[in-house]
Amino acid sequence: MITNLHNFLHQYFTIHDCEVLTENQTEMTIRLNRELDQVLMNRPFYWHYMDKIGRQGEPMSLYLDTSTENKDNNREWIHFGSPRLQQIFHHIKTNARFTILYEETDGDTKTALHPWLVTNIMVHYCGKQKKESVHSIGVQLINGVMKTDMMNHMDGLSMDRRMSDYSFTISPIIKPVSGFRRIFHYLENELLEEDMGWVKQSTDALNEEIQLLDYFFHQQEENKEILEKEQERLTERLQPRIEIEIINAGLFYLTEEASQLIIKD
Amino acid sequence: MSIPILRDETFIQEYEEAIKTPSQLADWQLFKQSYQIAETMKVPSFKDLVAPKFLPHLEFLPHQIKCAEKVIQHMNGKALLADEVGLGKTIEAGLILKEYMLRGLVQKVLILVPASLVNQWALELNQKFLIPTVTSGKRVDWQNTNILISTLDTAKSARHRQTILEQDYDFVIVDEAHKLKNHKTKNFHFVQQLSKKYCLLLTATPVQNKLTDIFNLISLLKPGYLGTYDDFIKQHREEKRKVDEDPYLKQLISKVMVRNRRADTGVHWTKREIETIWVPFTDQEMDTYHHVERFFKHNTAISAITYVREFCSSREACYLSIKKWVQQQDNVELPETNELLSSIEQLPHHAKALKLVELLKSSDEKFIVFTEYRATQIYLQWLLQQEKIPSVIYRGGFKKGKKDWMRQLFQHHAQVMIATEAAGEGINLQFCHRLINYDLPWNPMRLEQRIGRIHRFGQENDVKIYNFALKNTVDEHVMNLLYNKIHLFENVIGNLEQILSDLHLPNLEREVEQIFEESRSVGESKIKLNNLTSVIQSYQQADEAKENLL
């Protein structure tokens, strides 16, 4: 959960090597670099032109207000509904789908790193209404141990895209693709244990509406096309189903110690 | 209970590709952030609205939140929103749309509104709900635009019709949906044929004339819900059952319709204060008034009432339409006609107009002045200009840009806006709280629409309404008998629409006109008018005791 939007944004800009020029509790001025300017400022022609004439171009600055109330202070108010935050979220989501990470180790003793497949998953329950749940599931690719709540378990770990000196990885015995299958399978079993009242409600609602529809049009040959279209859209809207969407996933190489802690947790 | 579960197989394929290219791999912080976003933005329950959390700058009224919840949870996103004028139907529709979009259930949206409202809808959705929209201009791309605002006329026109019917819309909104009340019209058929998952119909008058109006509207949302048209007619007309005697029907309707009334909203509404300003004609004007009346009474083929009414508004309105009438007569100009026209020509300023100037000059407040006639509108504009009172005019026929501009001029520069009836629908003028009915419409619904422009949510002051009426004229009869007797100004109209439909009085204005046309004397017309209002009045009293259908 994002508990503090201000800190979240600060982190986002620092990850992307942008300088936070000034900052207090609720205000933040950021000098963008070219990469984020192109992502956020929506001025492709400017950059195209700069490239054409062989100039560097000047990235813009963002003046954000992260407080919960809109103020008249010439700053851009950023909150959970604002288009700017949607844009940033979208940028993160598309760029953080896959990873391979190694737990950092120090010292000069040889350390073995064990492979985990970690998936973050959003489950969409679609019927009369819709809801979503988020799951973080990992599978250890040597012995097949399955753990939920992985992101929380790993929260305190230091991870890097480069392996530390003296570390070495143990090759997976279970292939990542089968890891995904195991995770799907596990999750589906869990889902089938849940209360299915909503499925029945949706099915009932669908049947009821289709009956009414048939009755309304039963003598109207000329409106057959409308009837079919309505039936199709009703089914689309009310037919219950569950969609499993992977938010992101990656191969995580963890030390024996961390692995054991997670498994025991 | 079995349920299909769809796995995200494409992700696995993409993963296998991506893992080979290190540049596509995220670092730890970013990976975590993406997970945090999902945790934060997920829709955790079927029930609670998530949209308000994403719109912290909006303050919703309790009835608006309740409406959105009801539509989403109990009506499955197909509903008739029939709040009284000024309770924020647009806000409710926007909230529902936003909620569906946030839940990922809606992408492609078609919003059909009257031409005068296109801009306002776009503005409200953009600014309040942060929903980017496109309005249908000359070049419109029905296929690739996600959220499009258009008019019913544009959409159903031969040029666009087919393309639109080929689209699958997730969400369709029709504002001023009473235009769909007749199932034999092109409007109705067009909306019926639209491919739509969710649908909202917005109208303040779900029953305009007949009970079949609401039947037709509901049949667009949920065909079959109230049976077939024939069933419905059989049940509700032939047996002559009154609507409010049918609790079953009432209950059925309540499952597809949300109708809030001012009184139920629990929100403090500012008061409306009514003042009738009686204006006497000068002797000269009175003579001409009778002259007009006599002239057309002799011309049996045509009714005097139209011209007399116009004369009560302005010389210009009356003069122009008599001229037009003369031109339509093939015979040579009669001396009597010329005499009549010249006696109108010679009149000084209209008594009501002078009274208007007097009233405007006595105050610094902004006023919106409604008139029925364009000629009167132009005359008043000219007169106010002479008197150095800054004013703007407003007509339904204005282009979008001009309307917005006029509204802005009125807000920031002018004291007065002179509007004709067409302005009744759509514009919001909450910054103004004085309204003058320079002449009265003979249809109380239209009166309510006028008042609704300023007496609506967002109005912070008590609203003051001035009604101009000329003594000893048709104005006086209408005012006393039609308006005062049934307390139309005090009571927000609400159940009048119902009463009129139960009484089979679809067109009250026509009814009143007929009384004047068919009566041989003033006395007779008074008696008839009195009878008419007595019926309505007795119905009103009976109605108060009973619970209403809507």
- B199-228: per-residue pLDDT in tens? 999 998 787 667 788 889 999 998 888 888
Give this complex's ipTM: 0.95
B228 CB neighbours in chain A (<8 A) are 215-216, 218-219
Task: Please tell me the distance from the alpha carbon of residue B105 to that of residue B102, in angstroms, as a whole number.
Answer: 8
CB spacing of B222 vs A212 below 8 angstroms:
yes
Q: Confidence class of residue B400 from pLDDT cuts 50, 70 and 90?
A: low
Task: Please tell me the distance from the alpha carbon of residue B404 to that of residue B133, in angstroms, as a whole number.
Answer: 18
Q: How far is CA A192 from CA A119, A149, A200, B1, in A?
A: 20, 19, 14, 9
Indicate if the alpha-carbon torsion angle B476, B478, B483, B485 is positive or negative.
Answer: positive
Say which range, A17-26, B125-134, B320-329, has the weakest mean pLDDT. Answer: B320-329
Most A CBs within 10 A among B16, B17, B30, hence the mutation to make, goes to: B30
Q: Confidence class of residue A132 from pLDDT cuts 50, 70 and 90?
A: very high
CB spacing of A250 vs B42 below 8 angstroms:
no
pLDDT at position B270 is: 78
Evaluate if residue B108 carries a pLDDT over 60: yes
- Asked if the B51-265 domain carries CATH number 3.40.50.10810, the reply is yes
Evaluate if residue A170 carries a pLDDT over 90: yes
Evaluate if residue A3 carries a pLDDT over 80: yes
- Higher-confidence position of A70 and B390: B390
Q: What is the largest CA-CA distance in chain B?
A: 99
B30 CB neighbours in chain A (<8 A) are 15, 92, 95-96
Evaluate if residue B195 carries a pLDDT over 90: yes
CB spacing of B15 vs A212 below 8 angstroms:
no
Query: Which residue in A69, A134, A176 is closest to B38 by CB distance?
Result: A134
Query: Which residue in B27, B54, B103 is closest to A161 by CB distance?
Result: B27
Residues B26-36: tens digit of each pLDDT: 999 999 999 99
Residue found under tokens 């009346």: B293
| CA A142 to chain centroid | 26
Evaluate if residue A63 carries a pLDDT over 60: yes
- HSE-up (13 A, CA, CB side) for residue B483: 26
pLDDT at position B546 is: 39
CB spacing of B30 vs A15 below 8 angstroms:
yes
Comparing CA positions, the residue from B98, B58, B77, B70 lying closest to residue B260 is B70
Q: Confidence class of residue A37 from pLDDT cuts 50, 70 and 90?
A: very high
Amino acid letter, residue A246: I
Q: Where in chain B is the domain with CATH 3.40.50.10810?
A: 51-265
pLDDT at position B244 is: 54
Query: Which residue in B35, B40, B222 is closest to A248 by CB distance?
Result: B35
Q: How far is CA B73 from CA A123, A221, B53, in A?
A: 20, 33, 18
CB B130 within 8 A of CB B116: no
Residues B133-154: tens digit of each pLDDT: 999 887 889 998 999 999 999 9
Q: Name the most confidently modeled range: A136-150, A205-219, B458-472, B497-511.
A: A136-150
pLDDT at position B245 is: 58
Query: Which residue in B8, B55, B193 is closest to A244 by CB distance?
Result: B8
Helix, strand or coil, per DSSP, at residue A77: strand
CB spacing of B44 vs A133 below 8 angstroms:
yes
Evaluate if residue B483 carries a pLDDT over 90: no
Comparing CA positions, the residue from B171, B154, B172 lying closest to residue B163 is B154
CA distance B331 to chain A (A): 52
- Higher-confidence position of A68 and A80: A80
Task: Please tell me the distance from the alpha carbon of residue B346 to that of residue B259, in angstroms, as a whole number.
Answer: 52
Q: Confidence class of residue B424 from pLDDT cuts 50, 70 and 90?
A: very low
Evaluate if residue B497 carries a pLDDT over 70: no
| H or E stretch at B279 | strand B272-279
Q: How far is CA A245 from CA A121, A123, A135, B27, in A?
A: 6, 6, 10, 21
CB spacing of B6 vs A122 below 8 angstroms:
no
A82 CB neighbours in chain B (<8 A) are 130
Evaluate if residue A247 carries a pLDDT over 80: yes
- Higher-confidence position of B92 and B531: B92
Q: Mean per-residue pLDDT for A198-203?
A: 94
CB spacing of B57 vs A217 below 8 angstroms:
no
CA distance B222 to chain A (A): 7
Q: Mean per-residue pLDDT for B56-79?
A: 91
Evaluate if residue A108 carries a pLDDT over 90: no
pLDDT at position B97 is: 96
CB spacing of A81 vs B130 below 8 angstroms:
yes
Say which range, A204-218, B320-334, B367-381, B404-418, has the weakest mean pLDDT. Answer: B320-334
- HSE-up (13 A, CA, CB side) for residue B210: 14
Query: Which residue in A82, A99, A238 is closest to B31 by CB distance?
Result: A99
Q: How far is CA B274 from CA A124, B171, B226, B310, in A?
A: 55, 42, 41, 24
Q: Confidence class of residue A68 from pLDDT cuts 50, 70 and 90?
A: confident
Residues B344-371: tens digit of each pLDDT: 888 888 999 999 999 999 999 999 999 9
CB spacing of A101 vs B27 below 8 angstroms:
yes
Comparing CA positions, the residue from A214, A151, A150 lying closest to residue B32 is A151
| H or E stretch at B147 | strand B147-150
Q: Mean per-residue pLDDT for A97-113?
A: 92
CA distance B227 to chain A (A): 6
Evaluate if residue B411 carries a pLDDT over 50: yes
A226 CB neighbours in chain B (<8 A) are 192-193
Chain A nearest-CA residue for B192: A226
Q: Confidence class of residue B321 from pLDDT cuts 50, 70 and 90?
A: confident
pLDDT at position A243 is: 96
A212 CB neighbours in chain B (<8 A) are 222-225
Residues B253-290: tens digit of each pLDDT: 888 999 988 777 766 677 888 888 999 999 999 999 98
CB B180 within 8 A of CB B174: yes
Query: Which residue in A89, A177, A225 is closest to B12 by CB distance?
Result: A177
Evaluate if residue B522 carries a pLDDT over 60: yes
Evaluate if residue B496 carries a pLDDT over 70: no
- CATH hierarchy code of domain B272-279+350-545: 3.40.50.300
Most B CBs within 10 A among A67, A87, A97, hence the mutation to make, goes to: A97
A196 CB neighbours in chain B (<8 A) are 1, 3
Query: Which tokens is B279 given?
Result: 């204006």
| H or E stretch at A246 | strand A241-255
- Higher-confidence position of B424 and A234: A234
Comparing CA positions, the residue from B446, B434, B438 lying closest to residue B488 is B446
CB spacing of B130 vs A82 below 8 angstroms:
yes
Evaluate if residue B547 carries a pLDDT over 50: no
B29 CB neighbours in chain A (<8 A) are 11, 15
CB A183 within 8 A of CB A117: yes
A213 CB neighbours in chain B (<8 A) are 223-224
CB B481 within 8 A of CB B535: no
- % chain A with pLDDT above 70: 99
CB spacing of A217 vs B223 below 8 angstroms:
yes
Strand partners for B4: none
Query: Which tokens is B126 given?
Result: 């953009």
Task: Please tell me the distance from the alpha carbon of residue B527 to that of residue B332, in angstroms, as a whole number.
Answer: 39
